[in-house]
Amino acid sequence: MSYWSSLAVEFAARRRRFRRGPLGRFADQIEFAVLGGIVLAAVAPAVARGGIADAPWGPALPVALLAVYLYVERQRQAALAAASDEEAVTVAFDKRVHRLFVVIALLGAATFAWAMFKPVPRTFLPEEPPATGSFDVEIGS
């Protein structure tokens, strides 16, 4: 089985295992929270006062999630090829992936909060220059 087809099969199987697990009753809410955190990270620079300068890492979080997920999947496939106990490998990598999703969701929500509630920077507004002849410049002559 190729890397990509194995990835798709494992992704679907992991989702089914999660729904059958102890938190299965809350699976929809948990998936919504995770996806919401990812979306909030991507949207944060758009709603920030200073734009991308306020949350420059926001759009990178979904890309980082994908990159790390693909890396973990490569490790899982290598571990399956080397190990004899498929169930132990599956449980170990399910925990890794679930932690990854939680971390990315929390970072996304934190990025959004950072962008929304960052204080407005104080700008310096210079005073108007004094009118010509308002004070003597001929000191000491």
Q: What is the number of structural domains in the chain? A: 1
Domain assignment present for residue 29? The answer is yes
Q: Model-level pTM greater than 0.75?
A: no
Q: What is the pLDDT of residues 96-129, one digit of tens each?
A: 998 988 888 888 888 888 877 877 667 766 777 7
Expressed as residue numbers, the domain containing 102 is 3-11+25-116
What does the pLDDT read at residue 83? 79
Domain assignment present for residue 63? The answer is yes
Q: At what angle do helices 60-82 and 27-47 cross, to 10 degrees?
A: 140
DSSP output for 59-73: THHHHHHHHHHHHHH
Comparing 72 with 40, the larger pLDDT belongs to 72
